[in-house]
Amino acid sequence: MKRLTDTMFVAPQVQPGDIAALKNAGVAMIINNRPDDEEPGQPKSREIREAAEAEGIGYAHIPVGHGISPAEVDEMREALSSAGDAKVLGFCRSGTRSTLLWALARNEDGVDREELEAAAEGAGYSLAPINHLLS
């Protein structure tokens, strides 16, 4: 997991077998940003949801393909809002889409662009692909 903020982390693909360790690390909600069947052998969203629910962890599936839509940003805002101050883990293939979607959602909530850029860069990600969408 790479830290964006005290409560937001991103990671590459999560496996159902990782969920207990994530719970032990304090993760209270998982946001899956991968479409099912993006790669052969990738676990289905349903499998991860079931493992998360068995551990009492919240789960949201907001799949992002090519480009991020306003609806996906709204869904991310809702998921983050529902988590409150709990620790959230967003994941995709590499963590990049989760970082970009998080930044767009937080920007819509009024978080300063420079703060978002610093958080992303601190975790090893660039917001350059969405610079034109940030205020």
Question: 72-120 pLDDT, tens per residue?
Answer: 999 999 999 999 999 999 999 999 999 999 999 999 999 999 999 999 9
Q: How far apart are CA 117 and CA 111, in angstroms?
A: 11
pLDDT score, position 66: 84
128 DSSP 8-state letter: G
SS3 11: strand
Query: Edge-to-edge, what's the strand order for the sheet holding 2-3?
Result: 2-3, 8-11, 87-91, 27-32, 58-61
Using left for φ > 0, alpha for ψ between -120 and 50, and beta otherwise, residue 103 falls in alpha
Predicted confidence at residue 25, as pLDDT, reads: 97
Q: Which of 129, 111, 134, 20 is nearest to 64 (CA)?
A: 129
- The residues, ordered by sequence, that sit 6+ positions from 65 with a Cβ below 8 Å of its Cβ are 35
pLDDT in tens, 15-33: 999 999 999 999 999 999 9
Q: How far apart are CA 52 and CA 14, in angstroms?
A: 11
CA-based torsion, 48, 54, 55, 56: positive or negative: positive
Task: Say if CB 107 and CB 62 are below 8 A apart.
Answer: no
Which domains are assigned to the chain? 2-133 (3.90.190.10)
Rounded CA Rg of the chain = 14
